[in-house]
Amino acid sequence: MFFSWFKEISPTERRTFWACFGGWALDALDVQIFSLVIPAIIAEWGIGKTQAGMVSGATLIASALGGWIAGALADRIGRVRTLQLTVAFFSVFTFACAFSHNFEQFIVLKTLQGFGFGGEWAAGAVLMAESIRSQHRGKAMGSVQSAWAVGWAGAVILYTVMFSLMPGALAWRAMFGIGLLPALLVLYLRRGVPEPTAPSGRGAAAAEPAKQAGSRSSAKGLPFLEIFSPSVLRMTLIGALLGVGAHGGYYALTTWLPTYLKTERHLSVLGTGGYLAVIIVAFFCGCVAASQLLDRIGRRATILLFSIACVATVLVYLFVPLTNGAMLVVGFPLGFFAAGIPASMGALFNELYPRGMRGTGVGFCYNFGRVVSAAFPVMVGHLAKTTTLGFAIGTDASIAYAIVVLAVLMLPETRGRALAESLPGTAEQRASANAEPAHR
């Protein structure tokens, strides 16, 4: 029932879905490696938790810049080409992290890795939104976000195997080295994914390629500032605020949760992997559930529901004195509700902008949140010096998800909205308001 819509879409839509699914899974694999190996890196270089948090913060800031630039680049050279470039970029620097000689080299390479994976999400989200018909856009965008759980699971499996077979000083390097391999498969798959086409206006003879539409908007250069024009400024600012809360909560939890389970709950490598497995499976289920709700009850209601539930679950998980068994049970709703917000943002952000600036707008809103959210892992590490790590994680994550609630209450509902081809109020926008994306 959940995936019956998949039978209704065209072969081109399916190829695009699986290509983006693979890309986001690779994103998660490479990104989550760091959160799992923090204790080993701290031990090898004798750094503190604040410095470890700074690595995550620097990576997130770089990913935000990369996402904004890649979004604008996708508006100029096309979605597919930008996607391929960003995957290759962050995969190479993930591999390079394995050969760091000291902490200073490591943080530089991790920052460059972040620049690439931020761009990959932005280009992939726009490609998906423009390739999938509007009645299934929420389901497709939510479902492809579940790939993050697949990549996260791959990272946990690698962590469990490597740290069981090797000493920590070698295991964390091996994990970063393996992070290069899946990129070869994803780049191969993406060779068969076409650039999405713009819908024909009423009476038009044929659809226009997206890259041509983007090039008109980009004649003056990359459209970095067009998303701050009066017609879309309010949506840009609120979308950025939503990104702050969504990323702040997610990274406060996922960056430090493995360390919390190991150092404060005193779980072994296998025990930590078991707890994370519950949360990861729940994250996958949460993405699938959100994908259905997006097209049933709308974008706003879905995000509001999941964000309120996130606050409540985080408070229980980290502030209530639970046994290890109870934590395992509560871990499922924690992962489930944390999934619904990122699973919803792709569809919502794409529906706020017209084609010529869509990549820039989506890249900015999603990744501005990453810039500001970079402070959350650092704040967790700093607060943990004077209190428990669990209290620090819970406080920061709860504040972040409360920001999501505030932002979503100020956004319009976009369910079923056709993707605009121009700014609101123009003749071109009115002519194509009811048009659907063209499918090959």
Nearest Cα neighbor of 119 from 62, 162, 42 is 62
In Å, how far are 159, 255, 322, 397 from 274, measured between CA atoms?
12, 17, 17, 22
Residue 25 lies in a domain: yes
The verdict on residue 154 lying in a domain is: yes
Whole-angstrom distance between the N-terminal and C-terminal Cα of the chain?
A: 26
pLDDT of residue 433: 46
438 forms beta bridges with 197
Q: Are 294 and 286 spatial neighbours (Cβ–Cβ below 8 Å)?
A: no
Does residue 40 sit within a domain? yes
Q: Specify the pLDDT at position 81.
A: 85
Nearest Cα neighbor of 399 from 266, 203, 233, 250 is 250
pTM: 0.74
Q: What CATH number has the domain bearing residue 69? A: 1.20.1250.20
Task: Tell me the C-alpha distance between 32 and 38, whole Å.
Answer: 10
Dihedrals phi, psi of 266, to nearest 5 degrees: 60, 45
Residue 329 pLDDT: 80
Q: What is the model's pLDDT at position 198? A: 59
Which residues pair with residue 209 across a beta bridge? 197
Taken in order 58, 59, 61, 65, is the CA torsion positive or negative?
positive
* 15 contacts: CB under 8 Å, gap ≥ 6: 189, 192, 193
> Is residue 206, in this structure, part of any structural domain at all?
no
| Cα 53 from Cα 40, distance rounded (Å) | 14
Alpha helix (H) residue ranges in 1-102 = 11-45, 49-77, 79-97
Spell out the per-residue pLDDT of the chain, length 440, in tens.
Answer: 567 788 888 888 888 888 888 888 887 887 788 888 888 888 888 888 778 878 877 887 888 888 888 888 888 888 888 888 888 888 889 899 999 988 899 999 999 988 887 888 888 888 888 888 888 888 888 889 889 889 888 888 888 889 889 898 899 999 999 878 767 766 666 667 888 875 544 333 333 433 444 444 443 444 567 788 888 888 889 999 998 998 888 878 877 877 777 777 776 655 566 777 888 889 899 999 999 999 889 999 999 999 899 888 888 877 777 777 777 787 788 889 888 888 888 888 888 888 778 888 888 888 888 778 778 878 888 888 888 888 888 888 888 888 999 999 888 887 777 776 655 554 444 444 444 444 44
Confirm whether 203 is domain-assigned. Answer: no
Q: Which domain holds residue 294?
A: 11-191+230-412
What would the two tokens of residue 146 be? Answer: 């579940």
Q: CA-to-CA distance for 428 and 414, rounded, in angstroms?
A: 20
Percentage of residues in the chain having pLDDT higher than 70:
85
Q: Which has the closest alpha carbon to 381: 43, 64, 55, 159?
A: 55
Q: Which residue has the tokens 């809360």?
A: 245
Instruction: Look at residue 60 and tell me if it is in a domain.
Output: yes
Residue 102 domain flag: yes
In a domain, 207, yes or no: no
Q: Can you tell me the distance from the alpha carbon of 437 to that of 440, in angstroms, rounded to the nearest whole number?
A: 10
Of the candidates 436, 143, 392, 372, the one whose C-alpha atom is nearest the C-alpha of residue 239 is 372
Of 240, 192, 228, give the one whose Cα is nearest residue 67.
Answer: 240
Give tens-digit pLDDT for 210-269. Answer: 344 444 444 344 456 778 888 888 888 999 999 899 888 887 887 787 777 777 777 665
Indicate the SS3 state at residue 308.
helix
Please state, in angstroms and rounded to a whole number, the distance separating the CA atoms of residues 154 and 26.
9
Counting the structural domains of the chain, the total is 1
**Among candidates 270, 423, 271, which has minimal Cα distance to 354?**
423
